Amino acid sequence: MIKTQKGFTLIELLVVIAIIGILSSVVLASLNTARDKGANAAIKSNLANIRAQAEIVYDTAGNYDAVCTNATVINAINAAKQASGISAATVVAFATAGSGILATCHVPATPAGTWAVEVPLKGSTAGVPLMQCVDSTGQSTTTPVVLGASDAVCG
């Protein structure tokens, strides 16, 4: 009489569990990448809204001087900061150099009629920043270069 085995051996069960573990780690890594891309899309969208709001500020005041103090612009910057996951509580304004962990808004006195806003993208660090920047020239760019203290143009 031949004995038939029912069920799995311990080795077979461990192999299946190991394969499931490997597959789940691949899926989770992809999910985190997708989350970062979604957050970066939100940052870019908020900064595109800032460009439109800056034109409204210009139409209202005849200049861009109030871009960094406009409530709608500040709300859009704060929304971009939230999507970025940066914890800095303040928007750095005017003649302050940017950093890889701060949202920065510049309206320098000269050249007149210029402004720039940058926010770090999700996954950036102070040591290796990747910034999304929009400015008065119509640029919307991703750059590893932060704004200098008197910059009003991205990159």
* Confidence band, pLDDT 50/70/90 cuts, at residue 89: low
Distance between the two ends of the chain, CA-based, in angstroms?
A: 81
pLDDT at 124: 66
Q: What is the pLDDT of residues 38-79, one digit of tens each?
A: 999 999 999 999 999 999 999 998 888 888 888 998 899 889
3-state DSSP assignment of residue 111 = coil
3-state DSSP assignment of residue 108 = coil
3-state DSSP assignment of residue 150 = coil
> What is the per-residue DSSP string for 70-101?
-HHHHHHHHHHHHHHT----S-EESS----TT
Quickly tell me which residue has 């109030």 as its tokens: 66
Q: Which DSSP helix (H) or strand (E) runs through 8? A: none
The predicted model scores a pTM of: 0.76
